[in-house]
């Protein structure tokens, strides 16, 4: 299915790189990147569009085709990223949107749904957790230490070398239990869309400095019972980064949420699971 690349400027002057699938007049499904839009597989976007949805995936600030200011010293917070999602949803459709976030994008989506309750009709959270990075509650399983040790022992590539960056991504995916070939291809596409900015800087940006300035009090985990929209939690059984107990906790704390565990998945949504995940999302 053909997609269309575009950009959106928020009322606050932030430009977000976006991509559209399906009929623009259909109900909106907004996919929050983690941090780039390509964390959402093409096959899932296409399956949702075939199901009668206008699917839009987008890059967070300082990632992909979105506004890049100073990636090493971002002047925004998680709440600002959540406001971006709400502004984009309002700008694309007058009706409340189905909001979906994956990984750190799932944290953005949780805060967006809580801070802007009238803007969203449904919520999907994939491969994420109800607390910020580095702030793990005692009841939540943390990253698998042995896996993380192997992952972070990989030597950094030459970030100006597309092939080296792609191979680095493939090696990391193999350690995490994801498909190395898919990770290699996605890394190449991300490289092509982000000239002049090291992906490592972008990831550190979203996982570190931005999330250390939460300005979300009370913590959003304590606010999850406020959610009053249909919700789906998707999690890979073999995820060593955010182990499945994190998804189980989300499903318990979001009222009425359905938990879909992908038995053969790790951190990424595999192409083979795209139709199953799309069907669960469409059922909301």
Quick: pLDDT tens for 93-149.
999 999 999 998 999 999 999 999 999 999 999 999 998 876 678 999 999 999 999
Residue 2 confidence (pLDDT): 72
Q: Which domain holds residue 16?
A: 4-142+195-283
Q: Please check whether residue 166 lies inside any domain of the structure.
A: no
What stretches in the chain show pLDDT beneath 70? 1, 70-72, 134-135, 195-218
CATH number of the domain residue 279 falls in: 3.40.50.1820
Q: Please check whether residue 98 lies inside any domain of the structure.
A: yes
Residue 76 confidence (pLDDT): 81
Q: Please check whether residue 186 lies inside any domain of the structure.
A: no
DSSP 271: G
**Strands across the sheet containing 4-9:** 4-9, 15-21, 54-58, 28-32, 97-102, 120-126, 231-236, 258-262
Residue 203 confidence (pLDDT): 56
Q: Please check whether residue 170 lies inside any domain of the structure.
A: no
Q: Please check whether residue 176 lies inside any domain of the structure.
A: no
Q: Could you give the number of structural domains in the chain? A: 1
Give the predicted TM-score (pTM) of the model. Answer: 0.94
Measured distance CA(24)–CA(12) in Å, rounded = 24
Q: Please check whether residue 125 lies inside any domain of the structure.
A: yes
Residue 113 confidence (pLDDT): 98
Q: Please check whether residue 164 lies inside any domain of the structure.
A: no
Measured distance CA(85)–CA(119) in Å, rounded = 10
Q: How far apart are the first and last CA of the chain?
A: 23
Nearest to 156 by CA among 173, 148, 168, 144: 168
Residue 183 confidence (pLDDT): 94
Nearest to 251 by CA among 275, 278, 227, 215: 227
Q: Please check whether residue 274 lies inside any domain of the structure.
A: yes
Measured distance CA(34)–CA(195) in Å, rounded = 18
């Amino acid at each position: 299915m053909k997609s269309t690349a575009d950009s959106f400027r928020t009322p606050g002057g932030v430009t977000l790189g976006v991509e559209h699938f399906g009929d623009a007049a259909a109900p909106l499904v907004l996919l929050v990147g983690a941090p780039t839009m390509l964390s959402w597989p093409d096959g899932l976007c296409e399956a949702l569009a075939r199901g009668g949805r206008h699917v839009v995936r987008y890059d967070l600030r300082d990632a992909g085709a979105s506004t890049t200011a100073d990636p090493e010293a971002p002047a925004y917070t998680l709440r600002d990223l959540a406001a971006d999602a709400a502004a984009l949803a309002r700008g694309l459709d007058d009706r409340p949107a189905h909001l979906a976030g994956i990984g750190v994008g799932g944290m953005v989506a949780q805060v967006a749904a809580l801070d802007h309750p009238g803007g969203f009709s449904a919520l999907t959270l994939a491969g994420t957790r109800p607390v910020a990075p580095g702030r793990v509650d005692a009841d939540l399983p943390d990253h698998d230490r042995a896996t993380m040790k192997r992952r972070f022992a990989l030597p950094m590539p030459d970030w100006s070398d597309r092939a080296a960056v792609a191979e680095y991504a493939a090696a990391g995916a193999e350690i995490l239990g994801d498909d190395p070939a898919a990770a290699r291809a996605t890394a190449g596409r991300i490289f092509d869309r982000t000239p002049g900015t090291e992906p490592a800087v972008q990831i550190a940006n979203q996982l570190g400095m931005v999330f250390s300035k939460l300005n979300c009090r009370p913590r959003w985990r304590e606010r999850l019972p406020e959610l009053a929209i249909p919700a789906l939690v998707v999690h890979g059984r073999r995820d060593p980064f955010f182990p499945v107990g994190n998804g189980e906790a989300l499903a318990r704390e979001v009222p009425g949420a359905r938990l879909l565990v992908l038995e053969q998945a790790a951190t990424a949504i595999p192409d083979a699971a795209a139709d199953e995940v799309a069907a669960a999302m469409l059922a909301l």
